[in-house]
Structure 1
């Protein structure tokens, strides 16, 4: 399984900080995953065609090998379209994780999860599509802090698959990501 990281429009150092903060608190199984970072910067983060070409270059004939997209901010725009295109050419998208993809409609025939820097972003983004298991920071944090230091952001995992009322669990954004990856490793 490969994890494809699609950053937003920001300095590349923030993405390296995200990966370090996430991996520092991770399980050993995550270390075995093939983590690939889309190198496009600026407006290229919005281009599904550039992301798709990058995936084809990096993964070659491994279309059936499952991938998980983790995207941030403006990068969610290009990543969700690239995920659809990857499936159209025969690729397998195991899951799509949007971190602060506010205002981006998210639909697909693969599991989708949203991670938001505050409750308002969580609530208003869900109107444009989300999965059953999502996360929002509480207390609210700065948009870039969520990407730079997911291990420092505390909040709520919301699992709306529960019949009566949504299950809420307090944890860090990094821990939430680990739970998602572990779930898809086992499927």
Structure 2
């Protein structure tokens, strides 16, 4: 399984903090989309990057982890990657508020506060999501998920959703373990 990180519009150091804070043992499986600024929104550029990196491994499962504005380009790239015959194992959107998320693959959202979590669910997501409590600033979700406390919400049973307290990094670890 490969992991593609699609950062938002922010300093590249935040992405390095994201990796070193909880993903360092998987560094050899990580591809970071290098597009800066507005390119974070560009599905064609993300697809070109994936095509260049995965020439002979198109059937290798990929987990997309995207942040903020990067969610826009990443979800469109995930759809197209699958249409082109690639395998999308899961899609994880971190603070992609306002971005509708649909696909033929599992989708998870992480939000920096309860309002963002609740209002994003109106635009669809999967059953396993996370929101920070106490609320943190937007960039903290990417800079240091290991320091963000919150709730994993499993809403597969709509009558009685289950919640578990953990950090955003622990939630991400559990998701990646599920899709390995």
**TM-score of the aligned structures, taking structure 1 as reference length:** 0.94
Quote how far apart the aligned CAs of 1:13 are.
0.3
Which position in structure 2 is the counterpart of 1:114? 109
Deviations 1:5-46 (A, max 9, x none): 00000000000001111226xxxxx53761110000000000
Q: Which runs of 4+ in 1 moved over 3 A?
A: none
Of 126, 150, 153, which residue of structure 2 is paired with 1:155?
150
Q: Distance in 1 between matches of 2:129 and 2:7?
A: 19
Q: Distance in 2 between matches of 1:160 and 1:41?
A: 35
Query: Looking at both structures, which has the greater relative contact order when contacts are Cα pairs under 8 Å and sequence separation is at least 6?
Result: 1
Deviations 1:135-186 (A, max 9, x none): 000000000011100000000000011364100000000000000000011x
Quote how far apart the aligned CAs of 1:61 are.
2.3
Query: Residue 139 of structure 2: SS of its match in structure 1?
Result: helix
Q: How many residues align?
A: 180
**1:38-187 to 2 correspondences below 5 Å:** 38-162=33-157, 164-185=159-180
**TM-score of the aligned structures, taking structure 2 as reference length:** 0.97
Give ranges in structure 2 of 5+ residues lacking alignment.
none
Which position in structure 1 is the counterpart of 2:5? 5
Q: Residue 2 of structure 2 contacts residue 61 of structure 2 at CA under 8 Å; is this kept in 1?
A: yes
